[in-house]
Amino acid sequence: MFTATCVAPVNMALVKYWGKRNEELILPINDSISMTLDANEMCAKTTVAASESFKENRMWLNGDEQPFQANARLQRCLDGVQRLALAHGGAHRFPLSWKVHIASHNNFPTAAGLASSAAGYACLVYTLARLYDVPLDEQLTTIARQGSGSACRSLYGGFVQWQRGSSADGSDSIAVQLSPATHWPNMHMLILVVNDARKKTGSTSGMQRAVETSALIQHRATQVVPQRSKELKVAIEKRDFNAFATITMKESNQLHAIALDTFPPCVYMNDVSHSIVNFVHEYNEEAGSLHVAYTFDAGPNGCLYVLDEHVPHLLAAIQLAFPNDAQQSVEYLKGIPVPAV
Ligand code: 2P0
C-alpha cells in the first residue's frame, strides 16, 4: 500500500468569483483574487491510500462515506491527476489501475460559507499529486478548479489570482500566486462565526441562478471586476491598506447585491452580518482612516482584515459591540496570522 497525507488551508476571496461560463469545466465569468490562510488554522487534511487489494475507489468526508461514483467532481479530480501522472511518465511506484481510498477532515464547519470546498478539493488534488509524483504547477490548478472553482486558489499561499482565461477547454483558467504571505506579514484575518449551520442555497446553485436571472452580473463581470482586479493587485504590491480595504468591502457588498438581484433572491447575510458591516464602518470613522475591512462569502460569517498593530484594539471593540452574553450571535472569534512561508 502507498499513502500520502497533506493539509490545505482555506482561502478567502477579496475579488469574488461568482458565476460560471461553463458549468462542467468550472470556468468563471471573471477573475478573482484571494488570500490564503495559515495552513495550521482552518484547513482540510486528506489521506489517500492506493492498494492492489482495494476493489473500488472510496471516499470518507469527516468520517462519513460519500458515494464516489455519483460524484462527478471527485471522479474528474482523480482522472485529471492520473492524466497528469501519465503525461509525466506514469505513476512511478505502483500501477495507475490500483484503486484509492480517500479520507478527508475539515477542522471547521463544512458548507457554512467558510470555503470548505476550496480547502477540501485543493487538499484532495494536492494529496493525489503527491501520491502519483505530479508536480505543483498551473496544470494542477486546472484540476483543482474542476473540483470546486475556488479550490484552485488554495494550492498557493499568500495572495493568489484565479485567471478567468479565454480558451474553451479551460487550459488557461489557472491560479497564479501574486505574492507570498511574507510580502505583507502584518496582515491578519479574523473570522467571525455568526452561524456555522449548512447554508440554504449552496454557492454552485446560487451563482448559477445569478447568471440566469441577475440583470447586474454581466455588468459586474465585464465592467467592474477587471478594473478592481488591477487596482487590488497594485494595492497588494504597495501594501496600501486603504486601497485594499476599500476594494475588498465594495467587492463583498457587490457580491451580496448580485445575490439579492438573483430571482428568487439568495440571502446569505443575516442581521448579525449587517451589524458587523455597520460596526466596521463606524470603527473606521472613529479611527479617522481605514483600520479594518470586512468581507462575506456565501454565508453569514464575517471575515475581517486588519494590520497587526490594530488587532488588540479591534478585538476589544468587537467584544464590547458583541458581548458574550448577547450571543448566539458571534459564537467564535479567532485571530489568524498569515504564516511566514
Ligand atoms: C469566492 N465563493 O471567490 C466566492 C465568493 C463564495 C463567495 O468561490 O461551484 O464552492 O464549486 O465552483 O468554489 C464559492 O464557490 O463553487 C466561492 P463551485 P465554490 O471564494
Q: Specify the CATH number for the domain of residue 162.
A: 3.30.230.10
Ligand 1, CB cutoff 6 Å, lining residues: 13, 16-18, 26, 32, 117-118, 148-150, 203-204, 255, 297-298
Same domain assignment for residues 53 and 165: yes
Q: Whose CA is nearest to atom 11 of ligand 1?
A: 148
Same domain assignment for residues 106 and 173: yes
Same domain assignment for residues 310 and 212: yes
pLDDT at 336: 40
Q: Is 325's pLDDT higher than 80?
A: no
DSSP assignment string, 63-131: TEEE-STT-HHHHHHHHHHHHHHHHTTS-SSS-TTSEEEEEEEESS-TTSSS-HHHHHHHHHHHHHHHH
What domain range includes position 247? 187-337
Same domain assignment for residues 154 and 234: no
Q: Cα of 153 to ligand 1 centre, how many Å?
A: 11
Same domain assignment for residues 68 and 132: yes
Ligand 1 atom with least separation from CA of 121: 11
Mean predicted confidence (pLDDT) in 267-272: 94
Q: Whose CA is nearest to atom 4 of ligand 1?
A: 17
What is the bridge-based pairing of β-strands 58-61 and 20-22?
Answer: unpaired
pTM: 0.93
Q: Residue 239 is part of a domain; what is its CATH number? A: 3.30.70.890
Mean predicted confidence (pLDDT) in 310-320: 95
Q: What is the pLDDT of residues 209-252, one digit of tens each?
A: 999 999 999 999 999 999 999 999 999 999 999 999 999 999 99
Same domain assignment for residues 28 and 140: yes
pLDDT-derived band at 117 (thresholds 50, 70, 90) equals confident
Domain count along the chain: 2
Q: What is the pLDDT of residues 138-156, one digit of tens each?
A: 999 999 999 999 999 999 9
Same domain assignment for residues 85 and 101: yes
Q: Whose CA is nearest to atom 12 of ligand 1?
A: 149
Q: Is 276's pLDDT higher than 50?
A: yes
Grid cell 479565454 is found at 166
pLDDT at 174: 98
Which residues is 46 bridged to in the sheet?
Answer: 6, 104
| Domain boundary pick from 179, 199, 218 | 179
Same domain assignment for residues 10 and 159: yes
336: number of Cβ within 10 Å? 18
Q: How far apart are CA 59 and CA 42, in angstroms?
A: 21
